Amino acid sequence: MRNLGSAFSAAGNGDLKMAACCSNEEFSGQLSLENDSDFSDFGDSDSDEEQAIDDNIYGYPNDVEGRNFAEIDEDTESAGSDFDCDDDQNVDANGVSEIAFVNEDTVGQVFISNERDDASTDTSTTSNPPRPRKRRRVTTGNQNQARRLQQQQPQFIWNQNNPNNTVPEFHLRPGPTRVWGGESSPAICFQLFWDDALFEFLREMTNKNAEKKRADNPDKHKSPWRPITSLGEMKAFIGVCVAMGILKLPDLHDYWQKSYRLFEIGQWNEHMSRERFKGIMRYLKFCDEEVDKPQPRDGQDQPSPDKLYKVRRFLDKLLPKYDQEWVSHQWLAIDEQMIPFRGRVSFRQFVANKPSRFGIKVWAMADGNSGYILRQQIYTGKNVEQGIPEVGLGARVVLDLTVGYQDKNYILVTDNFYTSPILAQKLLARGIDCLGTVKANNKHFPKDIIFPQKPKPARGSGSWRSCQKILAVSWYDNKPVYFLSTVHSPEHSTDTPQEQRGVRRRSKGGAASVPCPPLLHDYNKYMCGIDRADQNNRYYSVGRKCKRWPPRVFFHLLETSINNAFIIYKATQAGKRLTSKTFRMTLATHLMSGYIANNNIPVARRRVDANLEPRLQNVGPHIPVIGPSRVCAVCSARLSHQYKHEKRPRPARSIIRCETCDVHLCLNTNSNCFSVWHKQQKLF
């Protein structure tokens, strides 16, 4: 061992690298000297001074089990060294194992030692500690797949070559797919989406839900209920909802109140009573829990994550009808919609810049010219079922919504949440052009046209780059805006009118024209397709306040269907002026006219026939009938008013009941409350 120490001490005396070797037999004999005071093992017999020296050299204490670090390193993976981990490849011809520790601070010095030296050599002879083993980074399958997708992304080389893009020719006839031979009506256009089969589905699911809940918990459901037996009653319920969107009142009971005649709506009770409306609203259902609820798969404890199973069948029946009834114009727009909802649902979203910040997000594609909603997709979060991270949510939404619109020369307009050079390239491969704003920090967007923060650029300034057919444009208005387009050129043509070369902006000196790129006018014109539909729905919103999220989705789709039916009706009635309010009022009247709450009540007042006998004229619907004895409504109201602050006597009871008003009234020799009830506005 002293020969080995001399070899280490002589290693730094010259520029030539020196190696001191000894055989395993000689060194093993030296290890047998257990009483040698110059050496000690790494056991508990180390003194505090020796332990401190070891800590200073290695940076950490010896192994708690008494093993030396050379023995521990044999079981671990070698890292950060050019030496091979295989011991057989590090043995020379004399049977000596060589392990090299190179100190980066000491140039030209190589220390070669036997692999057993570390077990018995004095720590003072060791000049360099072993390098700590590098920790391996463990990656999951999702991270590996995301890395592979990132490596497969194409590279974009931007230049200043003019792509000379133009808007392609569009050969389809936009508008309704049906040929309307005769005159259409709001009811006929609405039935294109809400046919009798859909109303029958709602009636069946609502009756099943009411029957199940009342059987499972009869104490909680004590209110009277009878099943919905006709489609007319289900249509009347929808008609009442549409009418409530036109005539907005603070509370649901205000539509049926009779205490204030000035605010009384007399005709509603003829088609549906308040308690009947509340009952249908309470049990309204869009699925069969026993059939539609996801069940655990084979070998799995958790069911498949279909978060929309409560409305899945309803969506499958309604949504495909949208693009079946309408051929879109060339320009399409994709944006998100928000269904207002603050209740409990796992996929509730928060969007700060929306009028309704909390709710359910819906991806929608609309006709850029008319605002007709073609497709909708409810966002429920990441795709947990496939276990794949959603790389590029905006691109995934666009590619899903545009299925079936390939190779028809459509042009898609999106905002900066969706637009990217990669999406533009994928859409071009499908035969779809695109236009949209893009974020400045997009990975593949050209960085040399991004505006610096200082100095502030001039208003109307801009630049552009191109990559094959994709055009990237930067333009500064009140703030920097960045675009991507595959149908525009970077500069205006010579025949472009002067008013289209700029946009009107207000300034301190008055209104002025700010130069703008050619694509700006098309973006402002066609991007508002979704906003136009939301604006029409917001004027006469159908939805009511709900604690459950499925009715909120139901009312949102009802509003979308009414808006689409209105657009179809306007297309079939060219030259006629019809507002959305008039369309909805006509539709609500038609839906409620097919059902009467009491079959004895006529829909409208009958014309008096002069040939009828006087006893048959102007009889009216208020006919007294005999029934069980109940408290008289007039006597009860009078006594309640007379004895406000003291105990009142019992009111009179009567077996006479008004068939229309459904109240019991006195009709005898002592009092005629029946006449007072129907003739006097004040009962006391």
339 & 399 share domain: yes
Q: What is the pLDDT of residue 537?
A: 83
CA angle 565, 544, 569 (to 5 degrees): 10
- Domain of 336, CATH number, reads 3.90.350
Among positive and negative, which fits the CA dihedral 369, 373, 375, 376? Answer: positive
Q: What is the pLDDT of residue 243?
A: 93
Tokens matching residue 189 = 């256009």
323 & 333 share domain: no
Condensed to tens digits (0 to 9), the pLDDT of residues 173-212 reads 999 998 877 678 899 999 999 999 999 999 999 999 999 9
363 & 475 share domain: yes
- Total structural domains within the chain: 3
Tokens matching residue 11 = 């290693």
β-partners of residue 378 are: 362
- Are 674 and 631 a contacting pair, CB within 8 Å? no
Q: Name every residue whose Cβ is closer than 8 Å to that of residue 140 and which is 6 or more positions away in sequence.
A: none
Tokens matching residue 121 = 């050599």
| Residue 478 pLDDT greater than 50, yes or no | yes
Q: What is the pLDDT of residue 91?
A: 46
User: Among the three residues 539, 564, 582, which one is the final residue of a domain in this structure?
Assistant: 539
Q: Name every residue whose Cβ is closer than 8 Å to that of residue 306 and which is 6 or more positions away in sequence.
A: 294, 312
| Residue 612 pLDDT greater than 80, yes or no | no
Q: What is the pLDDT of residue 603?
A: 41
Stated as kind and residue range, the H or E segment containing 631 is: strand 624-631
Nearest in space to 163 (alpha carbons), one of 514, 459, 424, 502: 424
Nearest in space to 296 (alpha carbons), one of 311, 310, 285, 306: 306
In-domain check, residue 451? yes
β-partners of residue 331 are: 411
Question: What is the mean predicted confidence (pLDDT) over 540-557?
Answer: 90
Which segment of 35-44, 48-57, 392-401 scores lowest on mean pLDDT? 35-44
| Residue 88 pLDDT greater than 50, yes or no | no
Q: For residue 149, name the pLDDT band (cuts at 50, 70, 90).
A: low
Question: What is the mean predicted confidence (pLDDT) over 83-109?
Answer: 44
Q: What is the pLDDT of residue 312?
A: 94
In-domain check, residue 670? yes
The packing angle between helices 196-216 and 274-283, to 10°, is 90
482 & 336 share domain: yes
Q: What is the pLDDT of residue 401?
A: 95
Q: How many residues does the chain have?
A: 684
| Residue 424 pLDDT greater than 60, yes or no | yes
Q: What is the pLDDT of residue 590?
A: 93
Q: What is the pLDDT of residue 141?
A: 63
346 & 492 share domain: yes
| Residue 230 pLDDT greater than 80, yes or no | yes
Question: What is the mean predicted confidence (pLDDT) over 524-546?
Answer: 86
| Residue 588 pLDDT greater than 90, yes or no | yes
- Are 88 and 7 a contacting pair, CB within 8 Å? no
- The bridge status of strand 331-340 relative to strand 411-414 is parallel
Q: Alpha-carbon distance 595 to 352, whole Å?
A: 44
Condensed to tens digits (0 to 9), the pLDDT of residues 305-326 reads 789 999 999 999 999 999 999 9
Which residue did the predictor score with more confidence, 352 or 610? 352
Which residue did the predictor score with more confidence, 547 or 88? 547
Q: Name every residue whose Cβ is closer than 8 Å to that of residue 45 and which is 6 or more positions away in sequence.
A: none
551 & 624 share domain: no
| Residue 20 pLDDT greater than 50, yes or no | no
| Residue 379 pLDDT greater than 70, yes or no | yes
Q: Name every residue whose Cβ is closer than 8 Å to that of residue 114 and which is 6 or more positions away in sequence.
A: 4, 22, 24, 27, 96, 97, 99
Which residue did the predictor score with more confidence, 564 or 32? 564
Q: For residue 262, name the pLDDT band (cuts at 50, 70, 90).
A: confident
For the ranges 121-135, 372-386, 513-527, the maximum mean pLDDT occurs at 513-527
| Residue 236 pLDDT greater than 70, yes or no | yes
Average pLDDT, the chain: 78
Q: What is the pLDDT of residue 631?
A: 92
User: Among the three residues 539, 563, 578, which one is the final residue of a domain in this structure?
Assistant: 539
Residue 133 φ/ψ, nearest 5 degrees: -70, 135
Q: For residue 66, name the pLDDT band (cuts at 50, 70, 90).
A: very low
587 & 600 share domain: yes
In-domain check, residue 68? no
532 & 547 share domain: no
In-domain check, residue 122? no
User: Among the three residues 604, 622, 651, which one is the final residue of a domain in this structure?
Assistant: 604
Q: For residue 352, name the pLDDT band (cuts at 50, 70, 90).
A: confident
Q: Alpha-carbon distance 321 to 518, whole Å?
A: 36
Q: Alpha-carbon distance 252 to 257, whole Å?
A: 9
Question: What is the mean predicted confidence (pLDDT) over 583-598?
Answer: 84
- Are 348 and 307 a contacting pair, CB within 8 Å? no
Condensed to tens digits (0 to 9), the pLDDT of residues 151-170 reads 666 788 999 999 989 999 99
In-domain check, residue 433? yes
Burial bucket for residue 297 (CB in 10 Å: 0-12, 13-18, 19+)? exposed
In-domain check, residue 8? no
Which residue did the predictor score with more confidence, 42 or 349? 349
Q: Alpha-carbon distance 325 to 320, whole Å?
A: 9
In-domain check, residue 359? yes
457 & 405 share domain: yes
Q: For residue 78, name the pLDDT band (cuts at 50, 70, 90).
A: very low
Tokens matching residue 424 = 């533009």
Q: What is the pLDDT of residue 289?
A: 87
Question: What is the mean predicted confidence (pLDDT) over 523-543?
Answer: 87
Q: What is the DSSP secondary structure assignment for residue 46, as one 8-state letter?
A: -
CA 668 to chain centre: 66
Question: What is the mean predicted confidence (pLDDT) over 377-389?
Answer: 67
- Are 42 and 62 a contacting pair, CB within 8 Å? yes
Q: Residue 622, SS3?
A: coil
481 & 366 share domain: yes
341 & 488 share domain: yes
CA 44 to chain centre: 64
In-domain check, residue 70? no
Question: What is the mean predicted confidence (pLDDT) over 337-344?
Answer: 92
The tally of CA atoms less than 13 A away on the side-chain side of residue 208 is 13
Cis, peptide link before residue 455, omega less than 30° from 0: yes
- Full residue range of the structural domain in which residue 645 is found: 614-678
Question: What is the mean predicted confidence (pLDDT) over 28-52?
Answer: 44
| Residue 44 pLDDT greater than 60, yes or no | no
**Residue at token pair 């249509």:** 235
Whole-number percent of the chain with pLDDT over 70: 71
| Residue 271 pLDDT greater than 60, yes or no | yes
| Residue 71 pLDDT greater than 80, yes or no | no
267 & 354 share domain: no
Q: What is the pLDDT of residue 240?
A: 94
| Residue 46 pLDDT greater than 60, yes or no | no
Nearest-Å Rg of the Cα atoms of the chain is: 42
Which residue did the predictor score with more confidence, 229 or 39? 229
Q: What is the pLDDT of residue 130?
A: 66
Q: What is the pLDDT of residue 142?
A: 64
